[in-house]
A and B are shown apart, each in its own frame.
Chain A
Amino acid sequence: MSAGTIVSLPDQSTARIPKMNFLTRENGLLSWLLTGDHKRIATLYLISITFFFFIGGALAGLIRLELLTPQTSLMAADTYNKVFTMHGIIMIFFFLVPSVPATLGNFLIPMMIGAKDLALPKVNLLSWYLYIIGGAMGVYVMATGGVDTGWTFTTPLSTHYVNTHVISTALAAFIAGFSSVFTGLNFIVTIHKMRCPGMTWFRLPLFVWANYAASILMVLGTPVLAITLVLIILERTVGIGVFDPAKGGDPLLFQHLFWFYSHPAVYIMILPGMGVISEVVSTFSRKRVFGYTAVAFSSVAIAVFGFFVWAHHMFIMGISNYAALIFSLLTMLVAVPSAIKIFNWTFTLYKGSITFETPMLYAFGFMGLFTIGGLTGVFLGTTGTDIHLTETYFIVAHFHFVMVGGMLMAFLSGMHFWWPKWTGRMYPEKISQFAAVVTFIGFNFTFFPQFILGMLGMPRRYAAYPPEFQALNVFSTAGASILGVGYLLPILYLTWSLKYGAVAGNNPWQATGLEWQTQSPPLTENFLEIPVMDHEAYDYEWLEKQQEKEVASVG
């Protein structure tokens, strides 16, 4: 083992991928489509969300190309409106919400808690089918003319004024929403009921805590979105008038209902990513996460407070000044647990023994970009400055820092980290480190100029804009092309590694989680026998003793 890395691989001349594992257990398409195995379902999810990510990414590329010039030179305003709407809907409902929970969460939670599978394997498969039906409807909408309401479906625009596929899109999001409810339900039941002997709540890996908190949000928040979307459909078809002022309805009610889901939804999107970062930072600094309980409880605090801040999306919408005051105060409170997490991860490094493999580089990227994303969130949570900055590119930059700089970085970090467990093979280290750096640079080039554009007052969702905003938009588009390269590289080398990657062995990172104490790729049942948790989470001394024992017994 060299000094700069913790990777310890088995002897490549003799190492083989275990013949019996969850991938080789059964063959044929049907064995995949009818599977109950959480790892196979996670694989199905991984393939499908990657597909949607690249559709959404291509749409983002179109947006950035259009914004190269102040005029609408690439496409008509209507087309542009459809493109940014589809970009938002696909990225949020079909990529970000299921990204970490449905892939990494599905794959890892049973293994991390020492269980054979999720509590409800058939429901798990059903969520994937619901997701695919929703996604297929989304693609159908796009193929047959698209929708131009914005991903926020704002009434009365969506109910009375646009003439595009609002109903099919709302149904698509409605169906995909149930997929997320079922996933959340499954996780909650599994984490409560299926922990192996000795796995107490405070021995759970922080990834499990984070997903548990996100699951609560999914189960409690998503039904509100479902109801809201049904009301939109009813208003469009039979004109019930809940949101129509001409019939005594209130369009602000829609905003309240929509953001009651959609604000917690941003925590659904970010919390599982925070879980990934906890695992990665601990493993690559060989240290227990600093203040385990604080990090665990901050996830729960974010989940709880996250439900009470929705109206900070409506400070300028004529809600009472005093309501704005309370929502602003609560928003400040929800910012604190995120700050705690950042500092706890940073101090996990203190007196650690740090190495810089790709997952760790992505994790560093996450910490930097999420800090910027979080702090700019405070600009928007503060009522006075929100007036100027909201609905401009400042808000676009802010949520891309959190969602793309945060969640996507965490997702890539996690994908690289658990790739050897998933496939049994290592990804190529050098090129992936390069990709991580390219992504970080491209990201900053793309989205940092948008903060300045927002301060200048450039409104979001504009197909054309005044010429003085052009230079910064050119920067942003140039950055987006770098970012595109950063995202294409992993697809290429990860696919390559499926056949040519080095054989990883059980525990290439010398990590402590239960998932690393079994073969890679794991058996369908995960473990030969149900493990017993006899140590705390992130106990690297236990791991060393364990390895000494193994060496002794083999020798």
Chain B
Amino acid sequence: MDHISPVLWQFLQKWLTHFALFPPEASTVAPQSDALFFFMVLVSLIGLTIVVLLIVGFSILYSKKRHPQAVQIEGSTLLEATWTIIPLGLFLVMFVWGALLYFRIYTPPANAMNIYVVGKQWMWKAEHPGGQHEINALHVPMGRPVQVTLISQDVFHSFSIPAFRVKREAIPGRYTTVWFEATAVGTYHLFCTQYCGTDHSQMIGDVIVMTPEDYKKWLESSTSGNSLAQDGERLFASLSCSACHNTRPDARGPSLANVYNARLTLSSGQTVTVDDAYLRDAILDPSQHTTQGYAPIMPTYRGQISEEGVIALVEYIKNLDSDYRVQQTLNTTDLLPETEGGSPRRPAGAKAPAAEKEVKP
């Protein structure tokens, strides 16, 4: 390469490293999504070629020089039916294929591990069930389905991992989910794709896919000491939830053991299945979610708990499979001095900064 000037060489090298043409395929859905994409590219190219060939061909054959007198033609039902039905058929194929893919991307498998992600201006905050907290980074194991439960604390954000071909809006006030199974170790872009204000373009992070062994090591080295459910338990105690939600005969609130995934009848007569979204709504807007047989006396916790706090509570209630833990919690509450119970955010919040430091670059 000595005959190429070093400046030019440097320029070429920089140019090539700054010139990506195709994103990496790093999840199980990526090749499926790309297959449909390339099918559509192919159909589009054929369609475009037909249109361009016809236009160019007719322009040459029937230019005024060659064809001075136009022949008037009214139309042709057969031809018009052809170019109505063939595109419609192709579009319908794409519709069905796309719908299958859509349902696959938005229907997490039952064995998926769950990670909560909170979007806020302008960062992504990930909460792992094991108590690992991350900002603008997401560590996931390879070869295992991961479900991400998203919520936004302020405005619309959108959680996008191009290498996985998945994206989901993070919406204020409601949980949305997306799932993926990473297939290649590496670091990939995590973007916010919904315009969210000043630093929208800084709301980017890395998705780090690790081998299961490395992931396990990472989990152990990054834990904040408390699992998410334990944070939730503390919050449950400090907010005095257990004062009503206990198993005493005179309890003013329903028992929460095994409530997750159960079917509840509300005082409005409506039946609901208890999921993350229902739990969140019931905590923040209890008057609309009173279980049948109980008085609507629960106060709202809107404005008192951060989205991370709600997530911890939801995670705690989700894992509550017997009343034993509530009893334990109840006892701890009784023992706790007043001051401890007075600052609801402390248990969840106090742990977070320490762990965040570890993952920040």
Residue ranges of A at the interface with B (Cβ–Cβ < 8 Å): 3-6, 72, 77-78, 81, 148, 150, 152, 154, 156-157, 160-162, 245-246, 248, 250-252, 285-288, 290-294, 315-318, 321, 324-325, 328-329, 332-333, 335-336, 339-340, 342-344, 346-347, 349-356, 364, 367-368, 371-372, 375-376, 378-379, 381-388, 390-392, 452, 455-457, 459-472, 540-541
A332 CB contacts on chain B under 8 angstroms = 88, 91-92, 94-95
B101 CB contacts on chain A under 8 angstroms = 383-385, 387
A316-B167 in contact given A329-B95, A372-B48, A467-B18 (Cβ < 8 Å)? yes
A457 near B189 with CB under 8 A, answer: yes
A-B contact pairs, 20 of them (CB 8 A): A3-B64, A5-B64, A77-B198, A81-B198, A157-B156, A246-B303, A332-B91, A346-B55, A349-B54, A350-B62, A355-B63, A371-B51, A378-B44, A384-B97, A386-B102, A457-B189, A457-B191, A461-B201, A468-B18, A469-B20
- Closest-CB distance, B205 to chain A (whole angstroms): 12
The one of A156, A328, A335 in contact with B155, judged by C-beta atoms closer than 8 angstroms, is A156
How many A-B pairs have beta carbons closer than 8 Å: the answer is: 300
The one of A157, A248, A335, A392 in contact with B193, judged by C-beta atoms closer than 8 angstroms, is A392
B33 near A385 with CB under 8 A, answer: yes
The one of B59, B194, B201 in contact with A354, judged by C-beta atoms closer than 8 angstroms, is B59
Asked if B9 is at the interface of the complex by the 8 Å CB criterion, the answer is no
Chain B, 170-186, contact with A by CB distance < 8 Å: what is the 0/1 string? 01111010000000000
- Closest-CB distance, B162 to chain A (whole angstroms): 2
Query: How many of chain B's residues touch chain A, expressed as a range?
Result: 35 or more
- Closest-CB distance, B42 to chain A (whole angstroms): 11
- Closest-CB distance, A541 to chain B (whole angstroms): 7
Residues of B302-342 at the interface with A, using a CB-CB cut-off of 8 Å, are 302-303
- Closest-CB distance, B189 to chain A (whole angstroms): 6
A340 near B22 with CB under 8 A, answer: no
B70 near A352 with CB under 8 A, answer: yes
A274 to B36, CA, bound (A): 30
B201 near A391 with CB under 8 A, answer: no
- Most chain A Cβ neighbours within 10 Å, of B69, B79, B87: B87
A90 to B55, CA, bound (A): 34
B58 near A349 with CB under 8 A, answer: yes
B295 CB contacts on chain A under 8 angstroms = none
A352 near B168 with CB under 8 A, answer: no
B33 CB contacts on chain A under 8 angstroms = 384-385, 387-388
A392 CB contacts on chain B under 8 angstroms = 160, 162, 193
A350 CB contacts on chain B under 8 angstroms = 58, 62, 73
Asked if B290 is at the interface of the complex by the 8 Å CB criterion, the answer is no
A317-B171 in contact given A291-B76, A349-B62, A466-B189 (Cβ < 8 Å)? yes
A350 to B74, CA, bound (A): 11
B169 CB contacts on chain A under 8 angstroms = 316-318
Asked if B212 is at the interface of the complex by the 8 Å CB criterion, the answer is no
- Closest-CB distance, A31 to chain B (whole angstroms): 43
Residues of B47-72 at the interface with A, using a CB-CB cut-off of 8 Å, are 47-48, 51-52, 54-55, 58-59, 62-65, 67-72
A156 near B154 with CB under 8 A, answer: yes
A252 to B176, CA, bound (A): 12
A463 near B201 with CB under 8 A, answer: yes
A321 near B75 with CB under 8 A, answer: no
Asked if B301 is at the interface of the complex by the 8 Å CB criterion, the answer is no
B201 CB contacts on chain A under 8 angstroms = 72, 77, 459, 461-465
Chain A, Cβ-Cβ closest to B19: A471
A346 near B58 with CB under 8 A, answer: yes
Chain B, Cβ-Cβ closest to A158: B155
- Closest-CB distance, A150 to chain B (whole angstroms): 5
B102 near A387 with CB under 8 A, answer: yes
Asked if B286 is at the interface of the complex by the 8 Å CB criterion, the answer is no
The one of A328, A368, A391 in contact with B194, judged by C-beta atoms closer than 8 angstroms, is A391
A347 near B79 with CB under 8 A, answer: yes
- Closest-CB distance, B263 to chain A (whole angstroms): 20
A372 to B45, CA, bound (A): 9
A392 to B97, CA, bound (A): 22
A81 near B200 with CB under 8 A, answer: yes
B154 near A285 with CB under 8 A, answer: no
A462-B194 in contact given A290-B75, A294-B75 (Cβ < 8 Å)? no
A157 near B70 with CB under 8 A, answer: no
B197 CB contacts on chain A under 8 angstroms = 81, 148, 157, 161-162
